[in-house]
Structure 1
Amino acid sequence: MKKVFLFLMMSALFFSSCGEYNRVLKSTDYEYRYSYAKKYFNEKKYTKSAALLEDLYQNFRGTAYAEESLYLLAQSYYGQKDYQTASQYFETYYTMYGKGEYAELARFYSGYGLYLDSADPRLDQSMTYKAIEQMQLYLESYPQSERAAQAQEVMFELQEKLALKEMMAVRLYFNLGLYMGNNYESCVITAQNALKNYPYTKYREELMYYIVRAKYEVALVSLDEKLQGRYREVVDEYYNYVNAFPEGKYLRQVERYFNYASSRIQDSY
């Protein structure tokens, strides 16, 4: 009996809640609907608050509720983890209310939501680039903010994700070797671009190692007229590596490539 009674009570509460929400949706009293939108937002019922605010923020333009309703709409989508939609509304907010009460928070969450939505490095990184852009704009606008350090950490983490994507491409090109073309050259170009774009990445040593190694492999398959130049490139890249990492974990391997290449240069005279 107790279970039946509990079930009936829960059912009554559920239908009562649905009835209330439907009544609010049908109301033509905007202030009444807005009070419920804020109530649902505070109760973390973000789907309901967003549904109400989508219509309300348009009708509130030019009124005292306009600014807050737009910000709450963005936060409602953020609470649902729909970060892309939330970011769009946060961006709309700080574009319309550049000096508004929630302008700093809107700029921050616009980027932070996209950071949370950033894809695995193996996938498309459009959101990662957008998140970096938004965080950079936030730091430029609020360099002394209490959230500035967090924004910088987020940017560094996102840049490391992009560096990892490049690192994965470098490894792939090297492993493909001479399959359907000279992938070693693509390996070198990708690694060099990664070092240029992300000079402080934790993958810096590995990127430099692959440049030495790939140039060595290129030299091994070069035509005679290009051979000496390619060996010299191996030697040059070896010095770049050891100057940056005199006790690097790839030192033994690059020394082997250096010794072979330098001995071949000497033998040419």
Structure 2
Amino acid sequence: MFLKRPYTALLFVVIVLASACSAKFTRLQKKGTTEEKYKAANDYYKKGDYYKAGLLFEEIIPLLKGDSLAENAQFYNAYAQFQQKQYSMSSYLFKSFYATYANSPLAEEAFYMYAFSMYKDSPNYNLDQTNTITAIDALQTFINSFPDSKYAANCSEHLIDLRHRLEQKAYEKAKLYYKTSGVTIANFKAAVVAIDNFQRDFPDSQYNEELANLKVQSQYELAMVSFENKQKERYTDVLKFYEEFVDAYPNSKYIKQGQKAYDGATKALEDIAKQEQRIKELKAKQAEEAAKADTANKG
């Protein structure tokens, strides 16, 4: 019980000091001059209190237009938001700074921080990747604009990471279409299209071998459930996709699975060819009989 008293006293002191600091900050906001707020904002920033620094910077920036302090206020306000992990806001503020002070010594860093903020705001691969695409564009634009910058190497690393997220997203999307393709014909077709797009967009991906096989499987299953007038063309594509797969990955662990689809498609095409031949012969016979009947009628 007695041991708790020093801790209680310490807690009381902390609360009192926090209240005093809060009151001081409130008075500064209400009654402080622009110069006092600017100085305090910088002091808070240096101490790592980015929240209070940001609040003060936001208050005084509209009042500093045309003032020599405006540039630094906008720059560090953007950093204050970044340090609070408000990446969407910091990207906007850094981009605005660059647009306003393109000739500033801080312009290059601001452009990088705009792109870096976008990178930090990019979600995991399993979420919507709109922000990732925007971040890639920002990073690539920075590299193109400042190829010799000390930040260029960082941008290249970030680009690799973001492109891998897009690759992972596209891979999972293609596999999902394949897994759900039993639902509708549209899903079989979507799986093939998604894999085609993946192969085009990520020609060196580690997933291409697996997806090349899934493309064969998807096309084969699509052909099997298609209407008769579509089957010949779609079974023929199975053979084409399998041959492309084998040429690219002759020692693949998926060869047997692909071969099974290839054999099934070959057998189906043979049956179709036989059916077409029977129909052709039947039509020829009908035409012959019609010609005989016509001759007999004329006689």
Per the normalisation by structure 1, the TM-score is 0.90
The secondary structure found in structure 2 opposite 1:122 is coil
Q: 1:12 aligns with which of 3, 13, 16?
A: 16
Alignment of 1:119-130 (within 5 A): 119-130=123-134
The secondary structure found in structure 2 opposite 1:56 is helix
Query: Cα gap change, 1:108/1:252 in structure 2, threshold over 3 Å: closer, same or farther?
Result: farther
Greater shift, 127-136 or 68-77, is seen at 127-136
Matched, 1:67 2:71: yes
**Deviations 1:207-254 (Å, cap 9, x if unpaired)?**
322211111111222334433322221121122223333333423322
Partners of 2:250 and 2:156 lie apart in 1 by: 30
1:231 paired residue number? 235
The secondary structure found in structure 1 opposite 2:113 is helix
Q: Which ranges in structure 1 are unaligned for 5 or more consecutive residues?
A: none
1:55 paired residue number? 59
1:195 paired residue number? 199
Paired amino acid for 1:37? A
**Deviations 1:171-229 (Å, cap 9, x if unpaired)?**
22222224244310011112212222333333333332221111111122233443332
| Identity of matched residues, % | 28
**Deviations 1:73-114 (Å, cap 9, x if unpaired)?**
111010111100111101101111123222222222222222
Partners of 1:32 and 1:250 lie apart in 2 by: 71
TM-aligned CA deviation for residue 159 of structure 1 = 2.1
CA RMSD of aligned residues (A): 2.1
2:31 paired residue number? 27
Residues 27, 33 of structure 1: 8 Å contact kept: no
Residues 170, 210 of structure 1: 8 Å contact kept: no
TM-aligned CA deviation for residue 264 of structure 1 = 4.3
1:213 paired residue number? 217
Paired amino acid for 2:126? R
Partners of 1:151 and 1:246 lie apart in 2 by: 37
Partners of 1:168 and 1:148 lie apart in 2 by: 30
Structure number with larger C-alpha Rg: 2
Query: Cα gap change, 1:94/1:153 in structure 2, threshold over 3 Å: closer, same or farther?
Result: same
**Deviations 1:126-165 (Å, cap 9, x if unpaired)?**
2212211211211111122232222122222222222222
Residues 87, 118 of structure 2: 8 Å contact kept: yes
Q: 1:114 aligns with which of 103, 118, 134?
A: 118
Partners of 1:101 and 1:40 lie apart in 2 by: 23
Paired amino acid for 1:11? I
Residues 212, 254 of structure 1: 8 Å contact kept: yes
